Amino acid sequence: MSSDVIQLVSFSELDVYDTFFDTLREDYNGFKDWFTRKSFNNEKAYILKDEKLLGFLYLKEENEEDVTITPMFLKKRRLKIGTFKIEAHGTVLGERFIGIILKKMIDESFQETYVTLFDKQKGLIKLFEKFGFIFWGKNKNGELVYVKDLEVRNDIFKDFPRIRIDDNNKFLLSIYPKYHTKLFPYSKLKTERLHKVEDLSFTNTVEKVYLAAMSGMRDIKPKDIIVIYRTAEQGKSAEYSSVATSICTVVETRRIESFNSFDDLIKYCGKGTVFEHRELISFWSTKKYPNIIKMLYNVSLNKRIIRKELIEEVGIDRNTYAGCLQLTDDQFKKIIELGDVNENLIIN
C-alpha cells in the first residue's frame, strides 16, 4: 500500500475483468472497449485498493457543448466525473473521493463539474446533493445529470472545500502528532513520509471529530474556522517542529455530558474520530475530554507554517497558551498567505 489510501494509477495497472468492474460492464455497453482505450492512451484514475479494489474514480476535462443532455450543455470548460464507483465497505469513502473531485475543480479553475447517475444509485445521489450538486436533467441513456458550479450557497457542505472568512471566528487548535497524521492524511509532514495510512474510517472522510479538554474550546461555534496546529514531536524543538498544517470549518460542537449514553456518543462520532473504542470508553467514564468538535477538513496548507513564523510573522504571542487560541482576522489572513492557500478557496 502507498503512503496514501487513495492512489492515482494508470488504467494499464488495473484488470478490467476484476469483479469490482462487473456492475460497470453490466450497466454500460462498451465499458471494456472504453477501458482498453484508456489503458492504451496511458490515462489515469483514482483508486482505493486494500488487497482488492474498493473504489474507482475517473475524471476528464471537457470543453464543448453536449446535445445528448437535456437541457443541453452549452460550450464550457467542465470537469466530468466520468466513472465513479465505491464498494459498500463500512468506511465513508465517498466523502474522500468527493473531496478529491472538488479539490481538483478548485485547483484547476473549473467553473463547473458534473456527474451522471442511475436513479437506483440513491446513496451516491444523496452524497452528491449534500456537497452541492443540483439535478440538471437527463442524458440520452436516461441517466440523471447532476451539476455543481461555484455559486455560493452559504452552506459549509455545499460550498466545500471553499472557506467563508467573514462573519465567523478563527481559532488555532493543537493536536498531538500521533493523532494528527491519521486524522489529516493530506497534511502529513515530509518527515512522516514513511507513515502508512491504514484503511480506516477517520482517514476516508472529510468530516473529522476530535475530543479535547483545552481551555477556550467552549468559545468555538458552528461555521467558525479552525487552523490545525500539529504540536512538536517528543524531544524536538517546538520552535521549528510545531506547525500549522490545515484549515477546517466547524460543523458542530458538543459537550460529552450532552449525550444520554455511550452508544449515542459512538453514533455521533461515527467514522470521523481517530480515537480507538477503548479510548472513547475511557473518555466517557472519566469525562477527561469533555469538548467535542465536528469539523470539515477543507484545506491542507501548501506550505506548513512553523511556530517561529507564527510568532514572528503572524503575530501570535509567544507566551500565550497555544492549545486553543483565538486568532484575529488579520492573523488568519496572514496564515492563508504564508500557507500559500489557493485564493479560489476563499469566499469573502
- Cis ω before 161 (30° cut-off from 0): yes
What pLDDT was estimated at residue 206? 86
Q: State how far the Cα of 342 lies from the Cα of 218, in Å rounded to an integer.
A: 30
Residue 224 pLDDT exceeds 80: yes
Q: State how far the Cα of 98 lies from the Cα of 117, in Å rounded to an integer.
A: 14
CATH number for 170-345 (one of 3.40.50.450, 3.80.30.20, 3.20.20.70, 2.30.130.30): it is: 2.30.130.30
DSSP helix/strand/coil, 176:
coil
Q: State how far the Cα of 326 lies from the Cα of 168, in Å rounded to an integer.
A: 11
What pLDDT was estimated at residue 185? 66
Return the C-alpha torsion angle 132, 135, 139, 142, nearest 10: 120
Instruction: Say which residue, 1 or 72, is predicted with more confidence.
Output: 72
Q: Considering the chain, what percentage of its residues have pLDDT values greater than 90? A: 68
Which DSSP helix (H) or strand (E) runs through 164?
Answer: strand 163-164
Instruction: Say which residue, 187 or 170, is predicted with more confidence.
Output: 170
Q: What's the pTM value of the predicted model, to 2 decimals?
A: 0.88
Most confident of the following: 3-17, 42-56, 159-173, 268-282 = 159-173
Residue ranges matching CATH 3.40.630.30 in the chain: 6-149
Model pLDDT for residues 32-53, shown as the tens digit of each residue:
999 999 999 999 999 988 788 9
Query: Which of these, 285, 213, 226, lies nearest to 255 by C-alpha position?
Result: 213
What pLDDT was estimated at residue 232? 83
What pLDDT was estimated at residue 195? 33
What pLDDT was estimated at residue 348? 85
Residue appearing with cell numbers 500549522? 244
Residue ranges matching CATH 2.30.130.30 in the chain: 170-345
Residue 107 pLDDT exceeds 70: yes
Residue 272: pLDDT band with limits 50, 70, 90: confident
What pLDDT was estimated at residue 197? 36
Q: State how far the Cα of 330 lies from the Cα of 302, in Å rounded to an integer.
A: 19
Q: State how far the Cα of 21 lies from the Cα of 157, in Å rounded to an integer.
A: 30
CATH number for 6-149 (one of 3.40.640.10, 3.10.20.30, 3.10.310.40, 3.40.630.30): it is: 3.40.630.30
Instruction: Say which residue, 88 or 231, is predicted with more confidence.
Output: 231
- Contact present, 227 and 168 (Cβ < 8 Å): no
- Grid cell listed for 242: 510545531
What pLDDT was estimated at residue 187? 52
Residue 89 pLDDT exceeds 60: no
Query: Which of the residue ranges 55-64, 65-74, 88-97 would you say has the lowest mean pLDDT?
Result: 88-97
Mean of pLDDT over the chain: 88
